[in-house]
Amino acid sequence: MADQSSPGTGAGTEPARDSRLAGFAKGGGADTCPPGPELAALAAELSGPQWRCTGATDDELTGLLGRWAALESWAAAAKLGVVREMIRRGDQPWLSKQRHGDLPDTWDETLEHELAAALGMSAQAADKLIWLAWELEARLPGIGAKLTDGTITYVKARAIADELAVLSDDHAAQAAALIVDKLAGKTPGQIMKLAAQAACTVDPEGAAKRRELAEKEEARVRFWREHTGAAALAAYGLPTDEALAAHANVNARAEEYKKSKAFPDARMDQLRVLGYLDLLNGVSAAARVARARAMTAAADAAQAPGRPPGTDHGSDDDLPGEGPAGDPRDDGPGGGEPGGGPGPDCQPGGPALPALPARTNLTIPLATLLNLANRPGEGHGLGPLDPALARDLAATAAGSPGSQWCVTVVDADGIAVGHGCARPAGKSPRGPSSRWAFTQREGPGPPDGYGTWTLTLPGGKELTVQLGPVPVHTCDHRYESHAYQANDTLRHLVQVRDGECTFPPCSRHARDSDFEHAIPYDKGGRTCACNGGARSRKCHRVKQSPGWKVTQPRPGWHQWTTPSGRTYTQGPKQYPS
């Protein structure tokens, strides 16, 4: 039978080339076409399934890439345009009658929370988005036009707006005019330099203003977790002279460590980091060097012949006491305010470093702490903690008498269903120990709870933990306070249950948030876990603003309704388990 396939579409042949691709060659009509819906439709059609761009030459492929980038800028400009309309609708003329064109200079302060919920971003990021939307039309329309036509990206537009923010309206317009025709093809860094130079040109005092403003408004110390799991600590808005002096001190300490030869394998950058931390923590160079030498000696001794081999501490299947219904697990001791020297297992020999009090919140699966499993932990501000780091931090916390310990029972989804705060056992330790232990005592424990247990810290100190229920799915009002203020137990259990502020985009720790009633107390709302949740102070105020409402369909679930009528639900915290 004859082959009925059309020419160019038979088995093993390439599809026919679309002649419209030629428009994306350098200088072609599509290559210079301003972004918009027509270009978006054409680029999508010619890019094809999975954007394979079948039939395109290398030159045409580069042209398609450039136009997609222009469309990305155009879409960003469109989003900012919608934000501007929300600003207009949030106009509050009774606060200020000042305007830039049809844009008010003030608007509803809850707008940032509306955007945060809709776009899944923090309130701070939403506030910056609103500011940029306003800035690119009210003060820098020429820069906004370059974003719309694809000459610059959102990141570049933001960089220009940031650099010119300190200038008056007139000076900002003059500075923008100086650079607006020089932006094509520039990197974000090059554009920042252009904008900074323009600001200095039109307002020679602008550089000093920016520096003074940064030292006043942007001074902060930031702590965060890097993607590798390591921590980062940085300061911003520093006075230049003092920052230079501090940097010199860090370098000098690193040089001192290098000359000591106690760190033979360390790079200078590692020694600078060590010096930076020691200077902040008040650790002398002599103590650090002595400790390094002691640790080296201990490591050499550990490798000596005749050392007994280590023991296997078991596997995930060895975890005792898998609990009642819902397969709850014991989620490890959460230490508040850990500090002091390292625990018995942490650092071998050598002079202990001075106590380094810190305030944090660590959540470590008990199976990890007991070396029965390798489940990750979690630290507020640190994010996930690999098991080895979690054990090290717990050992460090155990070495400080100021550490506080709690045990939380979680279900199969990691939701807290039981909790107890550790108290001194009231008797002398059984003796020195280098291991953690968690054992159940005889007796019923709290009603509907999970019994009474003994937590033994490295060193032998024993703590008693009574595990009571957490009101997350249902509430019997046992923790209810009959006054406006929540009692300490209710407040703490709500903080454990919620983990963070219950406004979905907000990540402020529950410990640093208010206990806030869903139904207001003066309107009959109970001061109870079924009508209360953690809200940051700002989210608390937003919830009380006109058009906002919070309900709790179940004790641990918080449903927010915004003025636009959209709803967003935040459930209880899911702990590592």
Give the model's pLDDT for residue 400. 82
Alpha helices in 91-180 (DSSP H): 111-119, 123-138, 141-148, 154-164, 169-179
Q: Is the pLDDT of residue 426 over 90?
A: no
Do 146 and 157 touch, CB atoms closer than 8 A?
yes
Give the model's pLDDT for residue 321. 33
- Number of continuous H segments (helices) and E segments (strands) in the chain: 16, 20
Average of per-residue pLDDT across 452-470 = 91
E-strand spans in 167-314? 220-225, 231-236
Cα gap 128→346, rounded to integer Å: 44
Do 529 and 497 touch, CB atoms closer than 8 A?
yes
Give the model's pLDDT for residue 298. 87
Q: Is the pLDDT of residue 471 over 90?
A: yes
- Of 494, 427, 487, the closest CA to residue 463 belongs to 427
Q: Which residue has the higher pLDDT, 115 or 358?
A: 115
Average of per-residue pLDDT across 41-51 = 95
Q: Is the pLDDT of residue 379 over 90?
A: no
Percent of the chain with pLDDT over 70: 85
Q: Is the pLDDT of residue 336 over 70?
A: no
Give the model's pLDDT for residue 430. 59
Query: Full-prediction pTM beyond 0.85?
Result: no
Q: Which residue has the higher pLDDT, 215 or 25?
A: 25
249-286, pLDDT tens digit by residue? Answer: 999 999 999 999 999 999 999 999 999 999 999 999 99
Reported as type and span, the H/E element at residue 567 is strand 567-570
Do 560 and 570 touch, CB atoms closer than 8 A?
yes
Q: Is the pLDDT of residue 518 over 50?
A: yes
Average of per-residue pLDDT across 89-110 = 82
Average of per-residue pLDDT across 479-502 = 96
Question: Which pLDDT band holds residue 170 (cuts at 50, 70, 90)?
Answer: very high
100-145, pLDDT tens digit by residue? Answer: 988 999 888 899 999 999 999 999 999 999 999 999 999 999 999 9
Give the model's pLDDT for residue 348. 39
Classify residue 88 by its DSSP letter. Answer: H
CA-CA-CA-CA torsion sign (489, 555, 536, 509): positive
What pairing do the DSSP bridges indicate for beta strands 416-421 and 406-410?
A: antiparallel
Q: Which residue has the higher pLDDT, 211 or 502?
A: 502
Tokens 């989003």: give the residue: 79
Contacts of 125 (CB under 8 A, 6+ apart): 116
Percent of the chain with pLDDT over 90: 66
What pairing do the DSSP bridges indicate for beta strands 468-469 and 514-517?
A: unpaired
Average of per-residue pLDDT across 508-526 = 95
Give the model's pLDDT for residue 341. 34
Three-class secondary structure of residue 3 per DSSP = coil
Q: What count of residues does the chain have?
A: 577
Average of per-residue pLDDT across 423-429 = 71
Do 103 and 138 touch, CB atoms closer than 8 A?
yes
Do 49 and 88 touch, CB atoms closer than 8 A?
no
Q: Is the pLDDT of residue 443 over 80?
A: no
- Assign residue 331 a region (left: φ > 0; alpha: ψ between -120 and 50; beta: otherwise): beta
Do 289 and 257 touch, CB atoms closer than 8 A?
yes
Q: Is the pLDDT of residue 62 over 50?
A: yes
Give the model's pLDDT for residue 96. 63
Which one of 10-14, 145-149, 278-282, 462-466 scores highest in mean pLDDT? 145-149
Average pLDDT over the chain, rounded to an integer? 86
Q: Is the pLDDT of residue 205 over 80?
A: no
Three-class secondary structure of residue 395 per DSSP = helix
Q: Which residue has the higher pLDDT, 211 or 507?
A: 507
Query: Residue 241 has which token pair?
Result: 């002279």
Give the model's pLDDT for residue 286. 94
Cα gap 244→250, rounded to integer Å: 10
Cα gap 514→258, rounded to integer Å: 49
Give the model's pLDDT for residue 320. 32
181-196, pLDDT tens digit by residue? Answer: 999 999 999 999 999 9
